[in-house]
Amino acid sequence: MSTSPPLTVESARMGSGAAGMLTVLCGAIFLEGVDAAMLNIALPSIRAELGLTTTMLSAVVSAYVLAYAGLMLLGGRVADMYGKRKVFLTALTVFLLFSGFGGFATEGWMLLAARFVTGAAAAFMTPAGLALINGNFPEGPQRNRAVLIYAGTASAGFSLGLVIGGLLSAIGWRWVFFAPVIFSAILLLAGMKLILEKKEDAAQRQKFDIAGAVTLTGAMLLAAYTLTRMEHAANDLTWTIAAAGASMVLWFAFALIERKSRAPLIRLGIFRSAVLVQSNLGAMLFTGAFFGFQFVVSLYLQELLGWSSFETSLALIVIGMDAILAPLLTPLLVERFGNGRVVLGGFAFAIAGYALFLGMGLDWTYAAMLPSMVLLGLAFSLGYGPLTIIATEGIAEDEQGLASGLVNTSFQFGAALGLSAVSAVGTLALGDGDSPSERLEALRTALMVPVGATLIGMVIMGFGRGRCADASCRLQAG
């Protein structure tokens, strides 16, 4: 049972300074979501002007994911060690500069470099932002509402990014890079004034675990590379296996280094928290299922029903309802039922949404798809924010960046894993078939991956629910 005080207008009300800081942090996570989604819509225009090969185009997309997922843990820990405000503002500056660099790209390597560095900047900015919220809002109703607003904004950024990307691409694909420059410049100026870090919570510079940082970064980058290559593993099996093996070796080396280090980059004892591990696994499966579903829906609408990319993005925008519901409805449900039960409700809605879409046909109208979109909007409203709260609640202040990095890494790795798994299953199911009915059946088979992943996630999050519905039962990780 949650130990938070009752949710009242006074207990959840934020001061003007806190609200201003939250606005900047939400703006940054919205920017990250929009930036990631917009590029996908602009890819055909980029290929047409720069003459990029399919391999280079895929690499441009993967570069961002690779850096973002591969450096997130390091980014979170660096925020703990060197100051969350400093890391956040520095990362936002780098994001601004290299997004602009991408807009001036004339060759593929320039886009590749721009996307990798902006992904790396986001990997430092995102956990620092969430850690700033956890460090500046008192645990309970205020923090819950702040995190839910933050999570809803992140989801809305991705949903709206699909539409914004379509509009900007119609003007010119370079605006997909220039628009974030303008927005991030405004956020940077506001952040320098509004973002505060309590003096007693400010990070103290300490000896940096260089060996741990090198092995962790290598292990994460290789793991992310393996996931982004899984769907092409049949054509590149040697490299995929080699990357996975090298990642495992580096993970083992990292664990040995951290056990012996006097100032470890990551204190391994944090993983003694059963709820932290449980919530991160849930986050990975929850996000992986959605990204896999989105991939299936995109192929279904565009390749089988003949919809345009813009029409497809509009079809998915209903899921963005969580931007409204998450800050308004979810805090009340969390206070009434606890984070754990609300998360289980989110998983249940997601399973229903994916299962309903299994009935897709060649003559389906949007009215037939709408119930799934609404159910998934409810799923994200109930699942995303409370999962984030569970994963970071009860963690010591000097490890908030690490906990934030962990859950965001889980979300990112889940996305990559979901996409790869759905793509691989769909390809195997299709075989040599190419007729519309055969392709439809292959997509139905691939859609079983999100259904199964969400069901497994629900079981994981429900395990020991009577004892661990909320982070108040978190095991001591000392």
Confidence of residue 11 (pLDDT cuts 50, 70, 90): very low
CA–CA separation, 168 and 358 (whole Å):
33
Q: Is residue 228 part of a domain?
A: no
CB of 205 closer than 8 Å to CB of 223: no
Residue 269 has pLDDT above 60, yes or no: yes
DSSP-derived letter for residue 140 is: T
Domain boundary among the residues 196, 224, 247 is at 196
**Residues 355-371: tens digit of each pLDDT:** 999 999 999 999 999 99
Neighbours of 224 (CB within 10 A): 26
Query: First and final CA of the chain: distance in angstroms?
Result: 22
- Name the token pair of 332: 């009340």
Which residue type occupies 255?
A
Q: Are residues 191 and 277 in the same domain?
A: no
Q: Is residue 8 part of a domain?
A: no
Residue in 114, 115, 105 with CA at minimum distance from that of residue 52 = 105
Q: How far is CA 449 from the centre of its chain?
A: 19
CB of 96 closer than 8 Å to CB of 150: no
Q: Is residue 249 part of a domain?
A: no
CA–CA separation, 148 and 156 (whole Å):
12
Q: Are residues 61 and 146 in the same domain?
A: yes
CA–CA separation, 347 and 342 (whole Å):
9
Q: Is residue 122 part of a domain?
A: yes
Q: Are residues 189 and 305 in the same domain?
A: no
Confidence of residue 7 (pLDDT cuts 50, 70, 90): very low
Q: Degrees (nearest 5) of the Cα angle 443, 226, 242?
A: 130
CA–CA separation, 257 and 85 (whole Å):
28
User: For residue 172, is it left (φ>0), alpha (ψ between -120 and 50) or beta?
Assistant: left
8-26: average pLDDT = 72
Say which residue the tokens 């290559």 belong to: 229
Say which residue the tokens 């691989």 belong to: 424
CA–CA separation, 238 and 257 (whole Å):
28
% residues pLDDT > 90 (the chain)? 33
Q: Are residues 307 and 455 in the same domain?
A: yes
Taking 3-state DSSP, the helix, strand and coil percentages for the chain, each rounded to the nearest 5, stand at 85, 0, 15
Q: Is residue 273 part of a domain?
A: yes
**Residues 365-405: tens digit of each pLDDT:** 999 999 999 999 999 889 988 998 898 888 887 788 888 88
CA–CA separation, 378 and 325 (whole Å):
8
Domain boundary among the residues 196, 224, 257 is at 196
User: For residue 378, is it left (φ>0), alpha (ψ between -120 and 50) or beta?
Assistant: alpha
Strand, coil or helix: 338: coil
- Name the token pair of 428: 């195997």
State the residue range of the domain holding 420. Answer: 269-478
Q: Are residues 160 and 281 in the same domain?
A: no
Strand, coil or helix: 235: coil
**Residues 419-454: tens digit of each pLDDT:** 778 888 888 888 777 888 999 999 999 999 999 999
> What CATH number does the domain containing 74 carry?
1.20.1250.20
Q: Is residue 218 part of a domain?
A: no
Q: Is residue 231 part of a domain?
A: no
Q: Are residues 284 and 428 in the same domain?
A: yes
Domain boundary among the residues 196, 221, 254 is at 196
Confidence of residue 235 (pLDDT cuts 50, 70, 90): low
- Name the token pair of 477: 């990780």
Q: Are residues 172 and 296 in the same domain?
A: no
Neighbours of 167 (CB within 10 A): 14
Q: Are residues 44 and 175 in the same domain?
A: yes
Element of type H or E holding 54: helix 54-82
Q: Are residues 191 and 275 in the same domain?
A: no
Residue 99 has pLDDT above 90, yes or no: yes
User: For residue 114, is it left (φ>0), alpha (ψ between -120 and 50) or beta?
Assistant: alpha
Q: How far is CA 121 from the centre of its chain?
A: 14
Q: Are residues 293 and 407 in the same domain?
A: yes
CA–CA separation, 374 and 325 (whole Å):
12
Q: Are residues 40 and 184 in the same domain?
A: yes
Q: How many domains does the chain have?
A: 2
Q: Are residues 40 and 159 in the same domain?
A: yes
Q: Is residue 248 part of a domain?
A: no
Q: How far is CA 124 from the centre of its chain?
A: 13
Residue in 408, 387, 371 with CA at minimum distance from that of residue 33 = 408
